[in-house]
Amino acid sequence: MSERQVYLDHAATSPILPEVIEVVAEVMATVGNPSSLHAAGRQARKIVEESRETVAGALGARPSEVVFTSGGTEADNLAVKGLYWSRRAADPRRVRILASAVEHHAVMDAVQWLGEAQGAEVEWLPVDAHGALEVAALREAVAREPESVALITVMWANNEIGTVQPIDQIVPIAAEYGIPVHSDAVQVVGHLPVDFSASGLDTLTISGHKIGGPIGVGALLVRREIELTPVQHGGGQERDVRSGTLDAPSFAGLATAVDAAAGNIAARAEHLGQLRDLLAQGVLSAVPDAVRNGVPDRSLPSIAHFSFPGCDGDSLLLLLDAAGIHCSTGSACTAGVQQPSHVLLAMGVDPEVARDSLRFSLGHTSTRADVEALIESIGPAVSRARKAGLSGTSKR
């Protein structure tokens, strides 16, 4: 195992910011349930509401539109299920859910469950070879029977290949028929400007640990006039749609991380984009037959995704890990059996090639030295992985 540690998996989780650790520790040292009426409770509530105002201000939302959650998965489930149940209760004809074929599993699995257990009619919308939603297909699906559509859900940017979706084209189509749109924006915050009000979206998900905040906290932005049916019930906190004791330390940490991520986005995006391009050029130079997935001009500045034909992704990942370089295959693993990425399959990538892929993602700790270390290691690692595959020692 190499002593050098190079972290290139920020899209999975990003190292916590020092200022976040400081504020969480400070708030954790206080006592008081934010729902209590005594002085300690009121002080805790003050921290919660100040955190809500910070998140709202950084993301172009009203404070009343910020619903704190335990993370991105809960927020996505609350949005998708809550919108579906609320819309169908108001009009039983609204049974269709239109979702992009490249959604994160937090959305994809929630949608599939609604189809299997709640009678939803699910339509997966196609994407092009770069992972971008085919807007014409969405328009056709909506126009075919608009009164039956409960909601549309399209992530703002893909977590595996970084492709940014045409939200500015999707929202007007939905608005024409009064259909709510949800977007998972977990990967976008800190890399692209996010203005919830200007976006026209009805619900939007963020997550703390992707931007240097705590693990286990996130938020769902919910337009004020939108009704959501709760997924869980209890004390009626968070607009009565997300019951549970308010976690003041985590909310304060999330607010600190969001505030930091929203500041100076242009400079950060330029810096990360330069590192990403250097990484991509170096990888393609070291492994000429590697295939870069997605296109830079429609992608987050933080993600570079490659397929290495004839090179098992898991084997390559472990070889790089032994060299001290941490990255991700970006694919799901079910019951110990590696599965090709549903994102790449939706893009038309051959299943075998889809298994031979890695994602490198950058963030606030990334440096040129990190990128150079990967470039130095990737060629020999690919060569070893391919030899292992040819000798029959690489297992799929």
Contact in structure between 373 and 321 (CB atoms under 8 Å): no
How does DSSP classify residue 303?
Answer: E
357 touches 293 (CB < 8 A): yes
14, 78, 232, 249, 347 from 48: Cα distances, Å: 23, 20, 20, 8, 42
What is the per-residue DSSP string for 51-87? HHHHHHHHHT--GGGEEEESSHHHHHHHHHHHHHHHH
User: What's the one-letter identity of residue 395?
Assistant: K
Q: Where are the alpha helices (DSSP H) in 8-131?
A: 18-28, 39-59, 72-90, 105-117
Q: Which two tokens stand for residue 352?
A: 């075998």
Main-chain phi, psi angles of 206, to 5 degrees: -130, 160
Task: List Cβ neighbours of 369 (8 Å cut-off, separation of 6 or more).
Answer: none
Which residue in the block uniquely carries the two structure tokens 């799929």? Answer: 396
Cβ(358)–Cβ(313) below 8 Å: yes
Query: CA angle, corner 364, sides to 363 and 368, nearest 5?
Result: 75
Residues with active-site annotation: 333
Distance between alpha carbon 278 and the CA centroid of its chain, in Å?
24
